[in-house]
Amino acid sequence: MRKFHHLLLSCLAGLMLSGVVAAETVALKNGHPAEYTVVKGDTLWDISAMFLRDPWRWPDIWHANQQIANPHLIYPGDLLSLVYINGQPKLMLNRGTVKLSPQIRSTPI
């Protein structure tokens, strides 16, 4: 029972500390680009170094923006811009419009 209480207190302390860290604001670099087009080989870590004073904070921005479901799946040609809206960092993602045309494939019987 004593171990359980110790574990519970440790978990609560960890949750409280994580709330303090999350409450800090993410600071943008002075002179950061207005937009960035992803190129092959880019990672959110690399891109965050261009926008943020502290690149280690990229998960904070990713968690606040649901339009990127997986931070490991960004694609060449994606257009990213980082702005503050109501005091929260918002990552704007534009994947462009892909025009699909119907095609018929025929094979001999």
> CATH number for the domain including 79?
3.10.450
pLDDT at residue 19 in the model:
44
Is a pLDDT exceeding 80 seen at residue 107? yes
Choice between 93 and 19, residue whose per-residue pLDDT is larger: 93
Question: What total number of domains does the chain contain?
Answer: 1
Q: What are phi and psi of 77, to 5 degrees?
A: 100, -15
What one-letter code names the amino acid at 90? K
Contact criterion met (CB below 8 Å) for 82 and 28 = yes
Q: For residue 60, give its domain range.
A: 25-109
Is a pLDDT exceeding 70 seen at residue 9? no
Contact criterion met (CB below 8 Å) for 28 and 83 = no
Choice between 17 and 83, residue whose per-residue pLDDT is larger: 83
DSSP H or E stretch at residue 90: strand 88-94
Q: Which of 11-15, 26-30, 56-60, 61-65 has the highest mean pLDDT?
A: 56-60
Is 13 inside a domain boundary?
A: no
> pTM for the whole thing?
0.54
Is 2 inside a domain boundary?
A: no
Is 18 inside a domain boundary?
A: no
Condensed to tens digits (0 to 9), the pLDDT of residues 55-99 reads 888 887 777 666 777 777 788 888 887 777 777 777 777 776 666
